[in-house]
Structure 1
Amino acid sequence: MAGNSKRKGAIRKAGTKKGAVVGSGGQRRRGLRGKGPTPPAEMRPGHPAYRRAAAAARQAEQRDKKRRAEESAPEHVAGRNPVVECLRAQVPSTALYVALGIDVDDRVTEAIRMAADRGVSVLEVSRQELDRITDGAIHQGLALQVPPFSYAHPDDLLMAADGSGEPPLLVALDGVTDPRNLGAVIRSAAAFGAHGVVVPQRRSAGMTAVAWRTSAGTAAKLPIARATNLTRTLKDWASKGLMLVGLDADGTATVDELDLATGPLVVVVGSEGRGLSRLVRETCDQTVSIPMAAGIESLNASVAAGVVLAEVARRRRRASRV
């Protein structure tokens, strides 16, 4: 009969270690304890949403690694005219590659002479190797290696302005993706007395060889900073007394009414297509437009920046004479 303690095997021998002999051992109490809320699907291993989130995280990490590798890798300018223009503009260079058996002309001779005068290594390579170096670009037997650009910190721009003895004048680019526009803005900023240019870290043109060439070498004389978050950087500058003026086709004032020009100022230039982003526009103290003839919608970003910076420089010169 079940439960008969006198039956052989019905009672456990003394000294055995197979669980509790009397009571539940606390299992019933732990069984009644709540396990808390169910975690989101993305946090439950084995759930399809968890696998999708993990795959997205791996892809994002790979993109970041690729971006960092591209930023740290040297750039190559291919073609006789581009190489000569970069050397004339004194773009920082580490090597000039010349194809074996190249048909020498005036541009090749000038490129080799300028590279030698500046201490840039001149290396002869096969055309197959030059094709590999330039990733199949049309190089015409010449390629120039340009090292990664060394960006300043946004705080360095304020330090440079404070050391000038003049009211700070900075330029911020909001999503300008054409390196030629970036180079042209840097050239205008240097020409009209700006103390530095800041660009966002993402979704913006960087200091490539094309930007160097367009700036005509002025990027070596003007600090260029990269901001992780442009809106946060602008707010930080505003807290330090700088006024933010954004270029916008629907601005609240025209460039002729730019009374803030003589004080500490940041000129914010929008992208070529959409202009200023919403957050940056809301951060600006004032938005200004440029009066134009009927039928013309807008100016190129670099041209608009040059017009406004020229007006700022004019007003500052007039104020200094008063």
Structure 2
Amino acid sequence: MAGNSQRRNRRTANKKGAQLGSGGQRRRGLEGKGPTPPAEMRKGHAKQRAAQARARKATGRPAPRRGGARGTAELVVGRNSVYEALRDGVPANTLYVQQFIDSDDRVRDALRLAADLGDIHLMEAPRAELDRMTDGLNHQGMVLQIPPYEYAHPDDLVVAAHDEGQDPLIVALDGVTDPRNLGAVVRSVSAFGGHGVVIPERRAAGMTAGAWKTSAGAAARTPVARASNLTRALEAYQKAGCFVVGLAADGDADLHEVEALDGPVVIVVGSEGKGLSRLVGETCDLRVRIPMPGGDESLNAGVAAGVVLYEASRRRA
């Protein structure tokens, strides 16, 4: 019976105790939050990034790569591959060398290059450890670790161009899966004064050691951005005032007829086999073709991008 229980701390009535008030929280929640701050003060806004870029330029500090997701660490295995990666300036943070390795010219040259660079850690490891790291690949006693690439955000390429007082010149790759093609495009963008390359997150080549090598050092000064959705990234470029030109064998105009190349433009290059995907092709403002009197049906992405970038650079000059 209620009130007669001998159990300690047992509630013997249904009525609750005194309730605390809201402390004014509901009233404050109805109050306004004041005027919207200017775009330069809103985190993540393009105008804020432009203001920060101008500040960095005034102080001489380099712009950080940010926004896109980081890539994954990569291992370069084998004496020749390790030596060539170091020789070609592929960024690396650790060189693993097998204990009691039989030294030859490639081993000595690789160790010399790593020592000259100064920022690469030299680690000695037993063969069993290198076998585990490389999943049983024939590493020949040498493994080079490439740190994850830090991709830019697609919006940063437009901001960087405007900060330099130039019209954006950007190349977007649709379904290009060969890292060497990506490296070749990065090299062409750098050579012809472009502001960066955009790639999709999925079903596309990333900035691997192979892409770094093919870029011949251009990847160190030309940003690569990664978009979670390439179609939406192109639509954002259009809203920012860029004309989106897609390369297609059945394009509506020849390259020399496109007047938009001397202004803010994004050049979209598809894979050699499939070309542009349907949604990306429909998003483009204009699809153009490269005249080929020789009769070849298509060019690989690196060559096609180089041709269009040259034409754009010529007109801008």
In structure 1, the partner of 2:316 is: 316
Q: The residue matched to 1:144 in structure 2 has which SS?
A: strand
Aligned 8 A contact 2:196 2:225 in 1: yes
Quote the Cα distance in structure 2 between the aligned partners of 1:127 and 1:155: 45
Deviates more, 1:185-194 or 1:84-93: 84-93
In structure 1, the partner of 2:193 is: 193
Matched residue type, 2:182? L
In structure 2, the partner of 1:240 is: 240
Closer, same or farther: CA 272–102 of 1 in aligned 2, 3 Å:
farther
Quote the Cα distance in structure 2 between the aligned partners of 1:221 and 1:107: 29
Quote the Cα distance in structure 1 between the aligned partners of 2:299 and 2:71: 34
1:104 Cα offset (Å): 2.2
Matched residue type, 1:185? V
Quote the Cα distance in structure 2 between the aligned partners of 1:113 and 1:282: 52
Alignment RMSD, CA only? 1.7
Matched residue type, 2:310? A
Q: The residue matched to 1:267 in structure 2 has which SS?
A: strand
1:181 Cα offset (Å): 0.9
1:298 Cα offset (Å): 0.8
In structure 2, the partner of 1:27 is: none
Matched residue type, 2:109? E
Quote the Cα distance in structure 2 between the aligned partners of 1:263 and 1:155: 17
In structure 1, the partner of 2:225 is: 225
Mark the runs of 5 or more structure 1 residues left unpaired by the alignment: 1-70, 318-322
What is the CA deviation profile of residues 116-152 of structure 1, one whole-angstrom value per residue up to 9, with x for unaligned ones?
A: 2222011122222222212222322221101111111
Quote the Cα distance in structure 2 between the aligned partners of 1:207 and 1:159: 22
- 2:158 matches 1:158: yes
In structure 1, the partner of 2:26 is: none
- 2:128 matches 1:116: no
In structure 2, the partner of 1:149 is: 149
Q: The residue matched to 2:96 in structure 1 has which SS?
A: strand
Quote the Cα distance in structure 1 between the aligned partners of 2:276 and 2:217: 27
Quote the Cα distance in structure 1 between the aligned partners of 2:276 and 2:239: 21
Q: The residue matched to 2:250 in structure 1 has which SS?
A: coil
Quote the Cα distance in structure 2 between the aligned partners of 1:140 and 1:302: 32
Aligned 8 A contact 2:179 2:205 in 1: yes
1:106 Cα offset (Å): 2.6
Closer, same or farther: CA 72–224 of 1 in aligned 2, 3 Å:
closer
1:288 Cα offset (Å): 1.5
In structure 1, the partner of 2:100 is: 101
Quote the Cα distance in structure 1 between the aligned partners of 2:139 and 2:290: 41
Matched residue type, 2:102? D
Quote the Cα distance in structure 1 between the aligned partners of 2:165 and 2:105: 46
Q: The residue matched to 2:310 in structure 1 has which SS?
A: helix
Quote the Cα distance in structure 2 between the aligned partners of 1:200 and 1:312: 23
In structure 2, the partner of 1:267 is: 267
Larger Rg: 1
In structure 1, the partner of 2:80 is: 81
Quote the Cα distance in structure 1 between the aligned partners of 2:102 and 2:192: 42
Closer, same or farther: CA 282–72 of 1 in aligned 2, 3 Å:
closer
Aligned 8 A contact 2:271 2:300 in 1: no
Amino-acid identity (%): 61
TM-score, normalization: structure 2? 0.74
1:267 Cα offset (Å): 0.6
Deviates more, 1:258-267 or 1:130-139: 130-139
1:256 Cα offset (Å): 2.1
In structure 1, the partner of 2:91 is: 92
1:1-322 map, 5 Å: 73-118=72-117, 119-317=119-317
1:72 Cα offset (Å): 5.8
1:294 Cα offset (Å): 4.2
1:188 Cα offset (Å): 0.9
In structure 2, the partner of 1:26 is: none
Quote the Cα distance in structure 1 between the aligned partners of 2:165 and 2:130: 49
1:286 Cα offset (Å): 1.3
Quote the Cα distance in structure 1 between the aligned partners of 2:281 and 2:149: 29
Closer, same or farther: CA 288–122 of 1 in aligned 2, 3 Å:
same
